[in-house]
Amino acid sequence: MAVNYKTPTAASLLPVLGVMLGCAEAHIRKPNRKDMLLITLEPGSRAAGVFTQNRFCAAPVTLCRHYLEYTMETRALIINTGCANAGTGDEGMLNARATTKAVADALAIKVQQVLPFSTGVILEHLPMDRLLAGIPLCLANLREDGWFDAAHAIMTTDTVPKAISKQIQIQGKTVTITGISKGAGMIQPNMATMLGFIATDAAVGPDVLQDMVRNAADASFNSITIDGDTSTNDSFVLVATGKAGHPQINGEGTAEYGQLQLAVTDVAIQLAQAIVRDGEGATKFITIKVEGGKTYGECMKIAKAIGHSPLVKTAFFASDPNLGRILAAIGYAGVNDLDPALLKLYLGDVLVAENGGRAVSYEETDGVRVMKEAEILVRVELNRGRERATLWTCDFSYDYVKINADYRS
Amino acid sequence: MAVNYKTPTAASLLPVLGVMLGCAEAHIRKPNRKDMLLITLEPGSRAAGVFTQNRFCAAPVTLCRHYLEYTMETRALIINTGCANAGTGDEGMLNARATTKAVADALAIKVQQVLPFSTGVILEHLPMDRLLAGIPLCLANLREDGWFDAAHAIMTTDTVPKAISKQIQIQGKTVTITGISKGAGMIQPNMATMLGFIATDAAVGPDVLQDMVRNAADASFNSITIDGDTSTNDSFVLVATGKAGHPQINGEGTAEYGQLQLAVTDVAIQLAQAIVRDGEGATKFITIKVEGGKTYGECMKIAKAIGHSPLVKTAFFASDPNLGRILAAIGYAGVNDLDPALLKLYLGDVLVAENGGRAVSYEETDGVRVMKEAEILVRVELNRGRERATLWTCDFSYDYVKINADYRS
C-alpha cells in the first residue's frame, strides 16, 4: 500500500536507555486493537515539543504546552487513539487533566510531568471510564523493547506502522535514537492528527532541546503535505533521558550538538516521509525542491503551491507531465516580484521549462518517463538567490476521494 | 450537468447599443466549433479590466494591461479559445500584438484600441495563420444580437454557455447590461482560464469605470473558488459605450453610479456563480458566509480555508455533515487571535457548533438533511467584529479527479 516503504521489524527498533513502553486494548472506539500507549521516562529526562498552529487545537495539545512551561523534568507520555478530544470545550480540558492525574498518581510523580496526546474522532468526549481502566493495563505491560508494539498502538487509518532507530557515537558513548509516528493525511477524515515521538538517551541541556526539536520539525514534519489540511492535534515531541553516559550537550555551536541534531533530524525525516508514503490514496512519492530563492520562505511558498495544487497532484496520479499546471502553481504562489523568464523547471533530470516557456530541448517522452516512476523529483531553479527548500508530498487519486467521501457513509 | 443552472436562451440576451459581436470557426485547435469572437465597440467606448495576479501571466494579459494604460477609447476585443498563449515567451508577445494589429488594420483603428484574450492549452504557440484567417470571418458575422453565439464561442471544457442580460433605468433612459463568461475550474486542465466580459451602453467617466469593474470583480469572480488554482489568463473586462443617452456618470458617490454598480455587480455575480455551478465534477453549489469578523480579509481567509479544503469538499460530495473538518479549516485559516469558543457554525438553518464544540441542540439528522441539498449554505459567525465575506464554491467528486487525471491521457 505505502509507496516504496520498508515496514520496520521488531528487531530493527532499539531500546533507548531510560525509556519503557506499555500498550493496552482499552476499547476507546473499537475492540480488539491496541489503542493506548504509556511511555515512561526515568528521572532526569526532559521533553520539548512543537504543536499544531490550528486555533481549534485539542485539549491535550493545550495541556502539553502548559505543562512544558512549568516543568524541567518529564516522566511520562500517555497517548490514546480513537478519540481526539478536540472541539470538546471545558469538559475536554478536564478530561485531559484527569488522564494525566491518573498516570501521575500511578507513577507517584507530578501531574505536570505527564504529557497527554489524543488522536481520533473530533467533537466527541473521551470515554473516561475505559481510558482510566486502560492505564493500569499499560503499566503492567511496560517494557524496554516495546517500540514495535508502540508504533502499532498509535495507528488510526495508517496502513503501516512507522518507526525507526539509529545509533551514533558521542564522545565514545553509544547514543540511541528511536522514533515512532502516525498519520496518513494532514487530517484524517475525522481521525485527526500527525503524531511523532522521538526518544534518545543522549544528555541534552533544556535550552538546546527545544531548538533541536524545532530544527528537526522544520526539516521533517513541517516539510510534508498530503492535502494541505492542518490537524487540530499535530504534535511532535523529543525526549532525552540523559542515560547514555556522555557529558551533557549544552551549546548549539558544539560538535556534539551538530552530531545529535543531524541524527535526530534524520530520524524525523524518515518518520515524516513514512507518513507521506502512507498518504491517503497515495500512489507516488514526490519530492519538490525549490532552489536559488532569496529566502527559505519564498522557496517553501512555491514548493507548497505546487504540492497543494489539486491539478498538479491529479496530473502526478495520471503520470501526465503537465508542465502548464506546475508553472501556473509557481506563478500564483504569491512571490510577487518573481520573474518567470529566469526560472528553470526540471522533472527528474529533464529540463522541461526555461525562458518563460517550454525548453527547446524538451521531449514529452522524457517527461512521461519520469512521471511513470513511483518516486518523482520536481526541481525549480529560481536563479534569484541562494536559499532553498524541500517539500515531500504524494499524488491525488480516486482513492483519496473515496477514502474521504466514504469515511462516515 | 451544471448544478441548478438555467441555461440562457438567445432571446433572453439583449443587445447593447454600440456593441456588435461576430464569431468564427477558425480551427485553432479543433474543427467544427466556434473558437474566435470579435466584439466591436462604437467610437467613445471605454473599457476597464482586472486580470490574473499569476506571475506566469499570458502574453495577451500583459498586452491588455499595457494597452489600457495608453488609451482612453477601446474599440474592439478579440478572443480565441484552443490556445492560451501562456508560457510562450517573446514569441507569444509578438503573436498577441500581431493579432491586435490585424484587427486594428481591418477596422481602421489604433492597435492600442484592440484588447486581446486567449484561453486554451498552455505552453503552445498560437497558430497565427489560422488565427489571422479567422478575423475577416468574424468581421463578416458581426451583429448586434450576437451574444448567444458569443457565449458559445468562448467555451472550452464548459458544459453550458454562461450569459445574462439586465436592464435598468437611469435618469429616464433604459440602460442595458449584457455579459458572458467561461471557465469550469480556476484553471482547466490545460484549458486555462476564467474569462468574463460585460458590456453596457451606460455613459461612464473613465475614472469611475475602473472602480466599477474592481468592485464588481471583488463581489463576484474574486469570490468564487473551484480548486484554489489561479489561472495564467484570468481576465474580466467591463466596457461602456455611452449610447444609452443619459448624462455621463462621473462620481462614485452619485445615485446613478450606485444604480449602475449594483446592476453590473449583479450580472457579474450571476456569471461567476455560473462558473461554479459548472465546476469540474461539481454536484453541489456551496455558499460560505463568514460574518462578524474584524476585517473583510480575515472573513475571506476563513471562507477560503473552508472552500479550499479537500477534506471539506469531499465531505460535501458525500453529503456528510462532517463538522470536524470545517472547524479544523477555520482553525488553520491563519487568523492567529481567533477564539474558537466565541464562534458559531451553521449548516443551512441548523446551529451545529458553539462554545468550542458541538452544539448541545445539534442532531446529526438535521445536518444530514441540509447536506443532501444541491445548494448548501455554510455560515460562520465569528462574534468579534462587524465585517463579512461570501465565497461560492462546489464540492470535490470522483469526476474532478477523473476530468483532471484523464485530460491528456
ipTM of predicted assembly, 2 dp: 0.74
Chain B nearest-CA distance from A317, in A, is 7
Q: What is the pLDDT of residue B22?
A: 98
Cβ-based contacts of A404 with chain B (< 8 Å): 310-311, 314-315, 318
For A57, name the nearest residue in chain B, comparing CA atoms only.
Answer: B331
The chain B residue lying nearest A337, using CA atoms, is B55
Dihedral through CA A276, CA A282, CA A283, CA A284, nearest 10?
A: -40
B66 SS3 class = helix
**Amino acid A57: pLDDT:** 85
- pLDDT beneath 50, residues of chain A: 186-191, 407-409
Exposed/middle/buried for residue A163 (C-beta within 10 Å: 0-12, 13-18, 19+): buried
List pLDDT tens digits, range B363-407: 999 999 999 999 999 999 999 999 999 999 998 887 777 776 664
Distance between CA A392 and CA A40 in Å, rounded?
Answer: 32
C-alpha cell recorded at residue A405: 467521501
Q: How far apart are CA A50 and CA B57, in angstroms?
A: 39
Nearest Cβ partner for B311 among A87, A355, A404? A404
The pLDDT of residue B282: 87
Task: Give the neighbor-by-neighbor strand order of the sheet with A357-358.
Answer: A224-225, A387-394, A285-293, A375-381, A344-347, A350-354, A357-358
Sequence-ordered list of residues with C-beta below 8 angstroms from that of B73, at least 6 positions apart, any chain = B43, B44, B45, B46, B113
Domain spanning A285-406: which superfamily? ArgJ beta chain, C-terminal domain (3.10.20.340)
pLDDT digits (tens, 9 = 90+) for B345-363: 999 999 999 988 889 999 9
Q: For the segment A142-190, what is each residue's pLDDT rounded down to a tens digit?
A: 999 999 999 999 998 888 999 999 999 999 999 999 999 998 664 443 4
- Say which amino acid occupies B229: D
d(CA A193, CA B391): 27
Cβ distance A259 to A171 under 8 Å?
Answer: no
| pLDDT tens per residue, range B74-121 | 999 999 999 999 989 889 999 999 999 999 999 999 999 999 999 988
* Nearest CA-CA distance, residue A92 and chain B, Å: 10
Disruptive mutation site among B123, B336, B364 for chain A (greatest number of A CBs within 10 Å): B123
- Per the CB < 8 Å rule, is B56 touching A401? no
Residue A408: predicted pLDDT: 44
Q: Provide DSSP, B346-401.
A: EETTEEEEETTEE-TT--HHHHHHHHTSSEEEEEEE--S-SEEEEEEEE---HHHH
Q: How do strand A375-381 and strand A285-293 relate by DSSP bridges?
A: parallel
Tell me which chain A residues have a C-beta less than 8 angstroms from the C-beta of B315: 404-405
In eight-state DSSP terms, residue B248 is P
Alpha-carbon torsion B65, B71, B74, B80, what sign?
negative
Q: CA dihedral in degrees (B223, A357, A324, A329; nearest 10)?
A: -50
Is the domain defined by B10-277 classed in CATH 3.60.70.12? Answer: yes
Chains A–B, number of C-beta pairs less than 8 Å apart: 228
Active site residues of A: 193
Give me the residue from A227, A330, A402 closest to B311, CB to CB: A227
Contact (CB<8Å) A401/B397: yes
Q: Do A328 and B57 touch (CB under 8 A)?
A: no
Cα dihedral: A91, A97, A102, A108 (round 10) = -160
**pLDDT for the residue B93:** 95
Q: Which residues of chain A are within 8 Å of residue B340 when distances are taken between CB atoms?
A: 55-56, 87
Segments making up each domain of chain A, as ranges: 10-277, 285-406
CA distance A55 to chain B (A): 4
Residue B405 pLDDT? 67
Name the pTM for this structure: 0.83
Block residue for cell numbers 493496552: A24
Kindly identify which residue of chain B lies nearest to residue A92, measuring between CA atoms.
B357
Chain A residues within 8 A of B336 when measuring between CB atoms: 55
Residue matched to cell numbers 478536540: A86
Count helices and strands (H / E) in chain B.
Answer: 11, 16
By Cβ distance, the residue of B55, B324, B408 closest to A192 is B324
- Inter-chain contact B55–A86, Cβ cutoff 8 Å? no
Res. B408 pLDDT band, cuts 50 70 90: very low
Q: Name the catalytic one among B71, B176, B193, B232.
A: B193
Select from A318, A357, A400 the Cβ nearest to the Cβ of B406.
A318
Contact B401 A396 (CB under 8 A): yes
C-alpha cell at B107: 477596422
pLDDT at B228: 64
Q: Residues B346-357, buried b or exposed e (16+ Cβ, 10 A)?
A: bbbebbbbbebb
For B120, nearest residue in chain A (alpha carbons): A324
Q: B153: which residues sit within 8 A by CB, 6+ positions away?
A: B23, B24, B34, B35, B36, B37, B79, B81
How far apart CA A339 and CA A322 sit, in angstroms, is 21
pLDDT band for position B53 (cuts 50, 70, 90): confident
- Residue A206 pLDDT: 83
